[in-house]
């Protein structure tokens, strides 16, 4: 597809869901029935009579006849030109290991996509120029992450994977989770910030979002295979659409949160020692979690063993816990 608008998958979540409801994600999901039916309140069977005992308001005097106003010519606004993306090859971010599994990205997807964007010719100069932006952004993103740790826990629980775009309640849950991570409550996406500060041209922005990131998301979330019934096909299509939405909205926060969990698994006792005001009962519960983490054999199992922290720590203590973990992420 050679033509693309700037927004791509990086429109705000609420706008993306509106598009889903109206017409579906083009090329990803096609819904046979509308999400919401139009609700019209029926008229009353008869109009209630006017109470004759209520004093009528006096009729106001007529206004003097207004003088005709000469119409002013309206200057036509120029139409926004569509962005034509160059047909350039790029290295896909969807790489597999020897076992045939997709390799996890080593940095947030937008940053990784910029590194393989062929429309950015001098990448060394580009990444040197954006260093101050990335440094300031890191602090802002971490503050938003810590403030909304309970919402990221809901992402961990699969709110994106379970979303049903035909169900208003399900969409509402998704909006509740994503809204605090989007402007104006949070910083713009990295690509939007770089575009708006002049570090990315519109073509570079659109190529990154609409080609590289879209390719990665749809590759690791393959299309429905033959042999699935219509219900299964719809579910797979919705999962692909949800993945596009996820990577276009809060993937950066999810990535950093996962890094913080990995740091916690590797430095559990150290983080416990940094926590303030822990009573003996909680310290005992944390010791049990520590044993489970140490007993786990794989990185994924160690991170999964952190799950009981939600029951042991209050929300404020979990925010403090994550803040300590963030400073332990390897640079």
Name the 3-class secondary structure at 102. strand
Looking at per-residue pLDDT, the higher value among 145 and 29 belongs to 145
pLDDT of residue 70: 55
pLDDT-derived band at 129, boundaries 50, 70, 90: very high
| Distance between CA atoms of residues 115 and 113, nearest Å | 5
- Is the peptide bond preceding residue 184 cis, with omega within 30 degrees of 0? yes
Q: What average pLDDT is seen over the chain? A: 82
Rounded mean pLDDT, 174-193: 95
pLDDT of residue 76: 58
The CA-based angle 65-67-73, given to 5 degrees, is 145
pLDDT-derived band at 209, boundaries 50, 70, 90: very high
pLDDT of residue 319: 98
Residues 228 and 105: beta-carbon distance below 8 Å: no
pLDDT tens digit sequence for 86-113: 999 999 999 999 999 999 999 999 999 9
pLDDT tens digit sequence for 19-50: 444 333 333 333 222 222 233 333 344 444 43
Considering the entire predicted model, what is its pTM? Answer: 0.76
Looking at per-residue pLDDT, the higher value among 21 and 208 belongs to 208
Q: Where are the domains of the chain?
A: 3-25+103-250, 267-326
Looking at per-residue pLDDT, the higher value among 159 and 81 belongs to 159
pLDDT of residue 82: 85
């Amino acid at each position: 597809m050679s033509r693309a608008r700037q927004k791509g998958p990086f429109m705000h979540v609420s706008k993306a869901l509106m598009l889903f409801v109206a017409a579906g994600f083009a090329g990803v999901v096609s819904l046979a029935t509308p999400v919401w039916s139009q609700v019209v309140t029926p008229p009353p069977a008869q109009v209630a009579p006017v109470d004759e005992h209520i004093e009528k308001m006096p009729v106001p005097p007529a206004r003097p006849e207004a003088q005709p106003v000469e119409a002013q010519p309206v200057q036509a606004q120029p139409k926004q030109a569509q962005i034509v993306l160059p047909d350039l090859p790029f290295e896909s971010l969807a790489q597999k290991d020897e076992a045939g599994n997709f390799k996890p990205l080593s940095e947030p997807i937008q940053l990784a996509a910029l590194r393989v964007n062929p429309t950015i010719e001098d990448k060394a100069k580009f990444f040197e120029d954006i260093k101050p932006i990335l440094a300031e952004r890191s602090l802002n993103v971490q503050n938003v992450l810590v403030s909304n740790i309970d919402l990221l826990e809901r992402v961990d629980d699969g709110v994106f994977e379970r979303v049903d775009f035909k169900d208003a309640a399900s969409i509402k849950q998704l909006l509740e989770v994503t809204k605090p991570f989007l402007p104006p409550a949070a910083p713009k996406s990295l690509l939007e910030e770089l575009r708006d500060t002049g570090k990315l041209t519109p073509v570079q922005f659109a190529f990154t979002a609409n080609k590289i990131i879209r390719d990665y998301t749809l590759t690791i979330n393959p299309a429905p295979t033959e042999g699935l019934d219509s219900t299964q096909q719809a579910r797979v299509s919705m999962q692909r659409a949800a993945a596009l939405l996820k990577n276009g909205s809060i993937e950066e926060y999810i990535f950093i949160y996962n890094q913080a969990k990995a740091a916690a698994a590797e430095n559990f006792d150290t983080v416990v020692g940094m926590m303030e005001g822990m009573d003996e009962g909680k310290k005992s519960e944390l010791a049990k979690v520590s044993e489970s983490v140490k007993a786990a054999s794989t990185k994924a199992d160690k991170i999964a063993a952190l799950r009981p922290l939600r029951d042991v720590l209050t929300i404020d203590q979990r925010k403090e816990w994550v803040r300590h973990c963030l400073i332990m992420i390897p640079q």
